[in-house]
Structure 1
Amino acid sequence: MNRVLMLMFLCVPIVLWAQRPPIQEKQKELQERMVEVSLSEIQERLNLTEMQISQLRPVYKQYQKRVARLNMLNHKLFNRMNADTLSDEKAQTVLREYLDREHKLYVLNKQYMDNLLEILSPQQVIKLYQSDSDIKRKIRMEYLRRTGKPKR
C-alpha cells in the first residue's frame, strides 16, 4: 500500500507538469496580445479609419512575427556559444550568419515601410513608428515592474 501511495505522489507532479501549456505557446499568446494592444493604441493615436486599420492589421502582424523570428535566431546564435572556445573559422561563420540576418532585417524593414506607405500617409508612418516605439517602451517598463527586474 505504501508503495502505491508513494508511486501516486511521485506521478501526480509529472502528470500535472505534462498538462501545462508549453512555454512557447504562452509566449506566442502573449506576443499576439501585445500586437493587438499595439494595434488598437496605434489606431487611436493615428485616428485611423476602419479601412486603414483593416489593411494595416495583417501587414503589422506579419512584420512583427518576422522581426521576432529574426531577433530570436540572432539571440540563440550568440547566447548558445562560448566565444572563447570558437575557432576562427567557426567565429567567421557565426558572424556571417549574423550579418545575413541583419541584412534580412533591413530588407524586411524596407518592405514594411513600402507596405505602410500604400496604406498611410508619410506623416502617419512616422507617427506609427513613434507610437510603436513608445508602446514597446511602456510594455518593457511594465514587464520590469511586474517581474521586479532592475532597469538596464
Structure 2
Amino acid sequence: MSASALLRLDTQLDSKDVAAVLAAAWDVLSMTTGLCDSITAEEDSDELQAMIAAQKCSEGRDRLPLPETGRPVTAPPPEPGPAGLIPYVRLLEHVSDSLTRLSAAETADEGTSRALSQVKDLASGAAMALAAVRGQ
C-alpha cells in the first residue's frame, strides 16, 4: 500500500455515502491495528501505548459492519521517528471526525448514533495512544 492508498482512505472518509464512510473507517481501524502490532516491539517505542492503540482500533473495528466490497488494506511501513506515525494518527482523527458527523445526522437512530459515538471515542483514543508511541 502506498501513500496514495492512505489518501484514498482519507478522501473516502469525507464521502456522503454512509456505507463508504463506514467501510473506510473499518479499513483504517483494521490497518492501524496491524500497524500497531508490528511496531510494538520497535526499539525506542512505547510498547504499552502501541498495544493500547491496537486494542482500541480492534475494538472500534469490531463494532462496525464489515465492508461489503473491497480487499483488506495493509499499511505501508511508517517512516522512522515520530513523524512516521503522523499520517496514521491523522487518519484515526479523521475517522473520529467522520463518525461524529454520521452520528449527528438526522437519519441516524439512537442505537446507531450511540454505536458510532463509541467507535469515534475508540478511534480518538487510539490516535492519542499512537501519537505517544514514538514520543510525539
Tell me the TM-score normalised to structure 2 length.
Answer: 0.36
More helix by share: 1
**Highest CA radius of gyration, 1 or 2?**
1
